[in-house]
Amino acid sequence: DQQVKQNSPSLSVQEGRISILNCDYTNSMFDYFLWYKKYPAEGPTFLISISSIKDKNEDGRFTVFLNKSAKHLSLHIVPSQPGDSAVYFCAAYNQAGTALIFGKGTTLSVSS
């Protein structure tokens, strides 16, 4: 059973528009969440994170929102650029804080 779910396998957006990637989790004890970006033939690279004591974290064009009551987080990319085309993974630390639990990823395609 998946504890971190990314229900949209893919998302297509036009350059300049907003990209919204969604993630749901099942374990209310998760308290730290990260987003990773992965290009083909490369390892995942860290993008942005959020602690459960916050509901928003912003870094340039990237903002992560956390809704604890709904066990939902989202990544907003504004404005989207063609170079943002990649697979985006949502991940949460387990209760012990020792292991990252990943979602299956969402493939974002930004067209110019």
Assign residue 11 a region (left: φ > 0; alpha: ψ between -120 and 50; beta: otherwise): beta
Instruction: Decide whether 65 or 102 has the Cβ nearer to another protein.
Output: 102
Among 105, 106, 108, 110, contact with another protein (rule: CB under 8 A): 105
- Which residue among 25, 30, 88, 89 contacts another protein (CB under 8 A)? 89
Among residues 69 and 98, whose Cβ is nearest to another protein?
A: 98
**How many residues of this chain interact with another protein, rule: CB under 8 A?**
23
Is residue 69 part of the contact set for another protein (CB under 8 A)?
Answer: no
Q: Is 99 a binder of another protein (CB under 8 A)?
A: yes
Chain residues that interact with another protein, rule: CB under 8 A? 2, 4, 9, 32, 34, 36, 41-46, 49, 89, 93, 98-105
